[in-house]
Amino acid sequence: MNGNPSTSTAPLEVRNVSKLFGDFRAVDDVSFSLPAGSIYGFLGPNGAGKTTTIRMILEIIKPTTGSITVLGESSALKVRHRIGYLPEEKGLYKKMQCWAVIAYFATLKGLSRKVAKQRAFELLERYGLKDFATKPTDALSKGMGQKVQVLASLAHDPEFVILDEPFSGLDPVNQQVMEDIIRDMAKRGRTVLFSTHVMQHAERLCDRILLMAKGRKIFDGTLAEAQRTIPRRVRIETEDDIAPLRALSAVVSILDRSSRREEAHSISTEESQSLLMSAATGSMGRESRHWELELRENADPQAILQTCFARGIRLHSFNQSDPTLHEVFMRLVGPDAKEATFR
C-alpha cells in the first residue's frame, strides 16, 4: 500500500508534446494537466492520438518534442510503483488462477507475496468475483476476464491510474461494475485517466474531459464548459402556428422532431412557411408537432415560454436542456467523429 497520495503537485503535466512517426504526426503540440483526485476522460475517434499519448505518458515511447511530468518526476519509470495501467490490448495468463494473476502483478509493483495474495482476495471479494478466485482465467467470460485484468492493474493501490478503453467489450452489467471501480478509486483520492469512445460513461464519471482529433487537442475542460460550446435548445410540442417564435431574435433555427421522424433535420424557411400555412388552414389536421429551437448564446429559454403565452401558442410540453456530450463531441470533432463508436 502507498498510503495517502501526494497532493503537492499535479499527478500529470503534459507540455507541448508532439510525436512523429516518419512524416506522420500522430500527436501535435498537446498540453494538459490533471488535478489530483480527479477523473479525467480522454475522448476522440480512432486515430486521434489517445493511445499514443498514453504510451508517451508511461514512457513506453518517447515524445518527439515537449515534456511530460508524472507524479512530480520527469519519467514515469521513476514512479512506476505508484502507477496503475490497463492497456488497450488486453490479455491474461490463461492457466493461472484469478487470484494468482492479480497477486503476480502486485508483486511486480513491489508488494510482498503475502500482502499481494491478501490484496488479490480482497479485491475479488469487493467486486463480486470471490467465487472465481481459484478458477483459471481461460474459464472466465470476456467481461469477467477484463475485470480481473483491471483488478491486477490496481492491486498495488496506485496513486495514479491510466485505463485505455476500459469499457471496450463489456456488457452493461460489467460496464456498471467498471464505473463503480473508477468512482471508488476517486473517492479514495486516486487520480484516474481513462480513454473511451462511450460518451455516456464520460458524462457520468468525469470531472474533466479532453477531446482529441487528428492528434490535436480540441477541448479541455469540465462537462459544463463543454456543453457551453454549442447552443442551448428548447423543445416544445404544440398543434398551433409557431411563426411568432421564428421571428424572435433569440432563435437561431427551428428543427422538426415530430414523432414519426427518426432523426431531426433542419427546416428551410420555405419548408417552415409551408408547414405553418398548412397547420393554420387545418390541412394537417391540427396534429400535434414536436419542434426543437436552437438559441443564440446567452439567450434566455424563458423568452420562448413567455412568447408562447403572449401569442396564444398552446403547449403540450416545454423542455429546455443542455446538449449531451455526444452532441458536443460531434460538433467539435466534425466529420472525424463518424469514426468513433457510440453505445
Which of 278 and 205 is assigned the larger pLDDT?
205
pLDDT at site 277: 47
Say how far apart CA 317 and CA 288 lie, in whole Å: 10
User: Is the predicted pLDDT of residue 190 greater than 60, yes or no?
Assistant: yes
The x, y and z cell numbers of residue 67, run together, are: 515534456
Q: Which triple of cell numbers denotes residue 129?
A: 468475483
pLDDT confidence tier of residue 336, bands split at 50, 70 and 90: low
Report the SS3 class of residue 214.
coil
- What pLDDT shows up at residue 2? 46
pLDDT tens digit sequence for 208-242:
999 998 999 999 999 888 888 877 888 899 999 99
Q: Where do the domains of the chain lie, and which CATH numbers do they carry?
A: 12-227 (3.40.50.300), 233-322 (no CATH)
Residues 6+ apart with CB under 8 A from 282: none
* Integer Cα distance of 59 and 1 in angstroms: 23
Q: What is the pLDDT of residues 101-136, one digit of tens each?
A: 999 999 999 899 999 999 999 999 988 888 989 998
Q: What confidence tens digit (pLDDT) does each residue in 41-51 have?
A: 999 888 889 99
Indicate the angle between helix axes 142-154 and 113-126, nearest 10 degrees. 130
Type of residue numbered 178: M
Average model confidence (pLDDT) across the chain: 83
DSSP 8-state assignment for residue 134: T
Whether 281 shows a pLDDT value over 80: the answer reads no
Please, which residues have CB within 8 angstroms of residue 11's CB and are 6 or more apart in sequence? 5, 34, 36, 70, 71, 159, 160, 191
C-alpha triplet 214, 218, 221: angle, nearest 5°: 140
User: What's this model's pTM, rounded to 2 decimal places?
Assistant: 0.75
What confidence category does residue 275 fall into, taking pLDDT thresholds of 50, 70 and 90? very low
Q: In this predicted structure, what is the pLDDT of residue 99?
A: 93
> Contact at 8 Å (CB) between 230 and 323?
yes
262 pLDDT more than 50: no
pLDDT at 231 (0 to 100): 77
